Structure 1
C-alpha cells in the first residue's frame, strides 16, 4: 500500500492511496482461509472445499469488502500517523473509470484538517459579574402578580355596565351568512374583557353592556385571514350574546391563604421563595452577560486558521435560519437558494472560531458530559411532551444526532464554567434595570 501526498495548502490536505492487486488478492485469500473450515458445498465434506473453488464462488463478493476495508484502514493509519483531525468526513474518490478485477486500486482522499490551537492563559482573563439582590419592591411586585393570578370575580350590583377587566357570563350563538357554525356556540361562558381570549374586536363590543337575558347583544366581527379554521378565515360573523352576569375582579388577599394556594406554609415563606427565585433569575441573566464578555475576550485573544468548509457551512446555516425568521409563513425549504451576506460570513467566522476553541479547551482539560447529566437533559426535554415522555426518551436513545444536539450546549456550559473558575472575576453590585439593559444589549449585537 502506498500513500502519496498531492495537496498541502493551509489546512487542506490531499493524498493518493494505491492498493496493489497482490495486496487485495492476499486479503481475499486470508478471509477465505479463515472461513474455509466452516464452509460446506455439494460434493465436498465440511472444511474440504478447495481454495480455487471458494475463490471462484465467493472471491468477487469478498473483493469489494476487502477494498473498502483497505481504504478505511489506510485512512485510519494515515490519520493516526499524522495526528490530523479532519474538520469533516474525508472525501474519498476512486480513480480510473475502467477498473477491473486484477488491477491496482487507486483512490484520492482529501480533507481539511482542524488547526492547531494554542490555549490562552485563562488566568489572565478578567471579568465583571453583575450581582443583583431582590429588593422588597421586586418581591412585592411578584407577589401582587401571584395575587392577580389567584383573583376571583364578584357579581356587580344590578344594572351595572361591564367594564374592561370585568368578567361577563353569557350564552352566545355565532352565525355566518345567517347560519350557525360548529364551535360557535356556548352556554354560561365566562369571558374576561380585555383578555384577548376571543378574536380581535369581540371583547371591545361588550364593554358597556348590562345584564339582559331577554335581548341578545349582537357582536359583529371578521375572522382573520390566517384563522386556523379555513372555512371561517376572512369571513364576517355575527354572535348573538345573551348577558347573564357581570362580575368585577377581586384581587386575592396577600395572606397565608394565598401562600398555601402556591404551595407555601405562610406568606413569609412565600416571600422567601419569591426572593430566592428572583435572585436565581438575576444570577442566570448575569451569567449570560458574563459569558458574552468572556467569548468576546477569547475571540480577541486567539487567532488560528479556520477550515473554509466549516465557515461556509455555518454562514449558509445562519443565512437560512435568519431568512426563515424573517419569513415565518414559509415552513418548508422549497425556496430559492439564500446567499450569505458579509455580515453572515463575519458571524460564521466568530462562531466557528469560538466553537473550535471551546472544543479544544474541553478536550485538553478532559471535560465531559456525564451520563447522569445527559439523562437529566433528556428528561427536561421530555416534559415538553406530556403523556409521551417514554416514547421521547426511547427516540433520543436511538438517535445519535438528537443526542449530540442535547449534549453540545451542556458541554459548552461546562467548558465556560471551567474558564470562569480560572479567570479573575470581580463582583459588581447593581440593580435589575441595569441588568435588564445588559441582557437586552446581547440581542442587539
Structure 2
C-alpha cells in the first residue's frame, strides 16, 4: 500500500493512499476465517463452517468490512508518518476521495487536530482597571427604592386628583374602530400610575382624574406589541375611576433595617447600608464586566492570538450561519440558491470571517479554561437552568429537559465556562 501525507498546517493534514486489491482480498480472507469460528449457518456445527460458505453467505458485507479495515490501516500509518496521536484528532476523519477500480482503491482522508495556542503572554493583554465607586447618594437612592417597595397603599384621607405613584382603581373597556377586542377590559383594576404597566400614554391620561370621573383615553399600540391584531393600532379606552390610594412612606431607620435584615445578628441601619453598598458594587462591577470588559478582552485575545484553525470546524460554523440565514429567506430566494452553486458559495463566503472569529474564540476560551483551571460540570449547568426557570415562573425540570432534548446543553456549558474564565482573569487585574 502506498501512503502519501501532507501536513497542510498545524491544525489540518491530508493522507492519500493507494490500496491494492490484493490487500482487500487478504482482509476478506482474514475476516472470513474469523467468522468460521462464530457464525451460525444452517446445516453446519458452530465453529465448523467452511470459509467458502462464509464468503457466499456474507458476500458484499465481507468486502465492506475489508475496505473499512484497510481505511483504518491508512489512517494509522498516515498518523504515524505525520507524528500525530489519535487522541489529538478533532471530529471524525473526512474521506474526501474514494475511487475504486478493478486493481485498487485511491483514497484521500483529511484530518483536523486541536490547535496549538500560545498562552505565554495572555495575562499581559488584560488591562488594569478600577472598581466602580459607589457614593453615599447611590446607597441612599437604593434604600429609598427598598423602602418604597415596602410601602402599602391606603385610601386617601383627603380627596384629590390622581397623581403619579398612586394606585388608581379603574374600570376600563378598550375598542378599535368601535369594536371591543379580547383582553381589553377589566373591572376595579389597581393600576399604579407611572409604573409603565400599561401601553405608553395610558397612565399619563389617568393622572389628573378624580373619583367617579369617566374619561376616554386614546392611545396607540406599539408596532412591536405582542399581538399582531393590536400592534400599531389606534385604540380608545373608556375609563372610570372608582378610587385612589396613596402609598404610605416607610421611614428608613433601625426598625426598617431590622425588617430587611431579619435572621441576621447585626440588624442595624449601618449594617444595612454596608450590605447595600456591597450589592451596588457587585452590580456595577458585573455591568462593567458584561457590557465592556469581557467583550473587549475576548476581541483582544481573538485579534492577538493567531493560530491555524481546523477547517472542518469553520465549515460547520458556516453551515450553522447559512441555515440561520435560510430560515429568514423566501422560498424564491432559496430556490435561486439551489439552482446556482456559485451564488450559494458566494453567500457561504460572507459568513467565513465571523465563523473564523467564533471558532478562534471557542478554542481560546477552552485553552484559557485549562490554564486557569476553570470547570463547569453538568450539575452546575442544571442548577443555572433551574434557577432561571424558577425566576420566570417555569417548571425547572421541563425547562432542563427542553434544552437537553434540543441539544443546547453543550452551548450553555461553553457560555458558562467563557463567563467564568473571563471573570477570573479580570478579577486578577482589578485595582481596589
TM-score (norm 2): 0.74
Instruction: Give the direction of change, closer, same or farther, for the CA distance of 1:257–1:175 in structure 2 (3 Å limit).
Output: farther
Question: How far did 1:201 drift?
Answer: 2.7
Q: Which one is further off, 224-233 or 182-191?
A: 224-233
SS in 2 for 1:252: coil
Give 1:144's aligned residue: 144
Deviates more, 1:303-312 or 1:129-138: 303-312
Query: Cα distance 1:25–1:318, how it changes in 2: closer, same or farther (>3 A)?
Result: closer
Question: Mapping of 1:57-206 within 5 angstroms?
Answer: 57-72=57-72, 74-75=74-75, 78-79=78-79, 81-84=81-84, 90-96=93-99, 99=100, 103-111=103-111, 116-121=116-121, 127-132=127-132, 134-157=134-157, 159-206=159-206
User: Could you list the per-position Cα deviations for residues 359-381 of structure 1 after superposition, in whole angstroms to 9, with x for gaps in the alignment?
Assistant: 44555x5946253xx31122112
- Specify the SS of the correspondent of 1:110: strand
Question: Which residue of structure 2 aligns with residue 274 of structure 1?
Answer: 276
Rounded to whole Å, the distance in 2 between the matches of 1:286 and 1:225 is 32
Q: Secondary structure at the match of 1:33?
A: helix
What is the distance in 2 between the residues matched to 1:389 and 1:366? 31
Offset at residue 53 of structure 1 (A)? 1.4
Aligned to 1:53: 53
Deviation at 1:348, TM superposition (A): 6.3
Q: What secondary structure sits across from 1:333 in the alignment?
A: coil
Q: Secondary structure of the residue that 2:385 maps to in structure 1?
A: helix
Name which of structure 1's ranges 294-303 and 23-32 shifts more when overlaid on structure 2: 294-303
Superposed counterparts of 1:15-34, under 5 Å: 15-34=15-34
- Cα deviation for residue 189 of structure 1 reads 0.5
Residues 129, 290 of structure 1: 8 Å contact kept: no
Map 1:353-368 → 2, pairs under 5 A? 353=360, 355-360=362-367, 362=369, 365=371, 367=373
- Structure 1 position 206, deviation (Å): 1.6
Unpaired segments ≥5 residues, structure 1: 325-330, 430-445
Question: For the Cα contact (< 8 Å) 1:367–1:414, is it kept in 2?
Answer: no
Query: 1:174 is paired with a residue of what secondary structure?
Result: strand
State the Cα deviation string for residues 76-110 of structure 1 (Å, max 9, x = none): 553465245567754313333xx46x653322123
Structure 2 partner of 1:238 = 236
How far the C-alpha of 1:151 sits from its partner, in A, is: 3.0
Moved more, 188-197 or 8-17: 8-17
What is the aligned residue count? 408
Match of 1:36 in 2: 36
Distance 1:93 1:368, change over 3 A: same
Which range moved further: 42-51 or 252-261?
A: 252-261
1:208-247 → structure 2 map (5 Å cutoff)? 208-212=208-212, 216-247=214-245
Larger deviation, residues 50-59 vs 168-177:
168-177
* Alignment check: 8 A CA contact 2:4 2:78 kept: no
Deviations 1:390-438 (A, max 9, x none): 2444556667x533213324444565577679x8x4x545xxxxxxxxx
Given the superposition, is the C-alpha separation of residues 310 and 93 from structure 1 closer, same or farther in structure 2, using an over 3 Å criterion?
Answer: closer
After TM superposition, the structure 1 = structure 2 runs for residues 243-392 of structure 1, keeping only pairs within 5 Å, are: 243-256=241-254, 258-259=256-257, 262=260, 264-265=262-263, 266=267, 268=269, 269-285=271-287, 302-305=305-308, 332-334=327-329, 352-353=359-360, 355-360=362-367, 362=369, 365=371, 367=373, 369=375, 371=377, 374-386=378-390, 387-392=394-399
Query: 1:28, 1:59 within 8 Å by CA — same for their partners in 2?
Result: no
2:207 maps to 207
Shift of 1:21: 2.8
* Structural RMSD (CA): 4.3
**TM-aligned CA distance change 1:332 to 1:275, over 3 Å:** same
Residues 343-367 of structure 1 show CA distances to partners (whole Å, capped at 9, x for unaligned) of x87776665555444544555x594
Which deviates more from structure 2 when the two are superposed, residues 388-397 or residues 239-248? 388-397
Q: Is the 8 A contact 1:32 1:54 kept in 2?
A: yes
Q: Deviation per CA, 1:31-81, whole angstroms, max 9, x where unpaired?
A: 443343343333223333222111111131233244335424533553465
CA displacement 1:175-197 (0-9 Å, x = unmatched): 44545433222221011222222
Q: Which residue of 2 aligns with 1:441?
A: none
SS of the equivalent of 1:95 reads strand
On the 8 A contact 1:161/1:208 being kept in 2, the answer is yes
What is the CA-CA distance between 1:244 and the residue it aligns to? 0.8
Alignment of 1:394-405 (within 5 A): 394=401, 402-405=408-411
**1:290 CA displacement:** 5.8
Q: Aligned-pair distance for 1:220?
A: 3.1
Gaps of at least 5 residues in structure 2 are: 334-343
Between 1 and 2, higher relative CO (CA 8 Å, sep ≥ 6) is seen in 1
Q: Is the 8 A contact 1:163 1:208 kept in 2?
A: yes
